[in-house]
Amino acid sequence: MLSLERVCVAKEERAILRDVSFTVAAGSIHGLIGRNGAGKSTTVRTILGLQPLNSGTIRVLGRTLEGDAAAYKSPLAYIPELPMLYQGLTVTEYLQFTAMAYNVPEAEFHKRLPLLLERFDMSAHAHDIPLRFSKGMQQKMNIMAALIHDGRVFVVDEPFNGLDPIAIRALKEELRAVADHDGCVLLTTHALDIAEAMCDSFTVLEQGHVLTTGNGAQIREEFGVPEGSSLEDAYMKMLGKRGENS
C-alpha cells in the first residue's frame, strides 16, 4: 500500500536518505525506527510530499505524487510529532475544516465527531480554542483530525508524546483498527517497547540508509539475537554488528 523504492534525498549536497526501500503492506503496522538524525523525519516529509526526492519512487496505493498528486494524497492521514493547529478555530471548527478538505459528507462528519470527542476525552472542550490547551490536548486534536476522514495510509510520527494513558490506549486501538480494515500504518517512534508491542514489521534506519527490514523474528535471526529477546536487544546488537563491519 505504501512503498519506497531506492529513495535518495540530499540537502545542500549532503546525502540525507540513501537508497531507502521498504514496503508497508495492507493490513499492517510498520515501525520506522532509528536514533536521532537517522533520517526518519526526512522519510516522513518525503512521503508527504513536503521534501522533494533526488531520485527514487514513492507509491501510495500504487500512485505517485508526480503522476497524480490528488489521488496520491487523498488516502494519506498524518499525525505529526508536534501539534500544528489553527489557534483561532475551536476543536469542532478545526475538525469540520479538516473533514471538508477531505470531502467527508456533512452527515458523516456529525456522526463521527461525537464518537471521536468521547474517545479522546475531549467532549467538554468541543467549543474551546486550543490557545491554552496542553500539548497533549493539542495532540489529541491532530489525532482526531487524522481519524475524521477515510484515510487508508496513516503516517504517524512520534504520536505519543504528551498523551495521557487513556489517549495512548485509544490511539493504539484506532491504529490497529485502521490496519485491520485493510489500511496500513507507518509509525515512527523512539520507544522500542511501544514499537514492538504495536508493529508487525520494522525498518531500521541508520545514517540515512536501511540497516534492515523485516518482522521481529527475521531481525533477531539476521543479527543472531536469541529467540525471546526484545526489539531493544536486537537493535543494540545490530548497531554493534554494524560497527564491527564498518
Specify the pLDDT at position 5: 98
Specify the pLDDT at position 85: 84
Q: Is residue 233 part of a domain?
A: no
Specify the pLDDT at position 29: 98
Tally of CB atoms within 10 A around 173:
10
Q: Could you report the per-residue pLDDT of 47-69, keeping only the tens digit for each?
A: 999 999 999 999 999 999 999 99
Q: Is residue 234 part of a domain?
A: no
Q: Could you report the per-residue pLDDT of 93-125, keeping only the tens digit for each?
A: 999 999 999 999 999 999 999 999 999 999 999
Same domain, yes or no, for 99 and 158? no
Is the predicted pLDDT of residue 84 greater than 90, yes or no?
no
Specify the pLDDT at position 228: 86
Q: What is this structure's pTM?
A: 0.93
DSSP the chain: -EEEEEEEEEETTEEEEEEEEEEE-TTEEEEEE--TTSSHHHHHHHHTTSS--SEEEEEETTB-TTT-HHHHHTTEEEE-SS----TTS-HHHHHHHHHHHTT--HHHHHHHHHHHHHHTT-GGGTT--GGG--HHHHHHHHHHHHHSS--SEEEEESTTTT--HHHHHHHHHHHHHHHHTT-EEEEE-S-HHHHHHH-SEEEEEETTEEEEEE-HHHHHHHTTPPTT--HHHHHHHHHHHHHHH-
Same domain, yes or no, for 12 and 131? no
Same domain, yes or no, for 28 and 53? yes
Is the predicted pLDDT of residue 243 greater than 70, yes or no?
no
Q: Is residue 241 part of a domain?
A: no
Same domain, yes or no, for 133 and 89? yes
Q: Is residue 246 part of a domain?
A: no
Q: Is residue 119 part of a domain?
A: yes
Same domain, yes or no, for 49 and 89? no
Q: Is residue 225 part of a domain?
A: no
Same domain, yes or no, for 146 and 24? no
Specify the pLDDT at position 245: 44
Same domain, yes or no, for 136 and 41? no
Is the predicted pLDDT of residue 197 greater than 60, yes or no?
yes
Number of domains, the chain: 2
- From 130, 150, 170, the end of a domain falls on 150
Domain with 11 in it: 1-75+154-208
The pLDDT > 90 percentage for the chain reads 80
Same domain, yes or no, for 178 and 56? yes
Q: Is residue 100 part of a domain?
A: yes
Specify the pLDDT at position 86: 85
Same domain, yes or no, for 142 and 97? yes
Measure the CA–CA gap between 67 and 137, rounded to whole angstroms. 37
Same domain, yes or no, for 118 and 179? no
Specify the pLDDT at position 87: 83
Q: What is the mean pLDDT of residues 15-26?
A: 96
Q: Which CATH number covers residue 10? A: 3.40.50.300
Is the predicted pLDDT of residue 72 greater than 80, yes or no?
yes
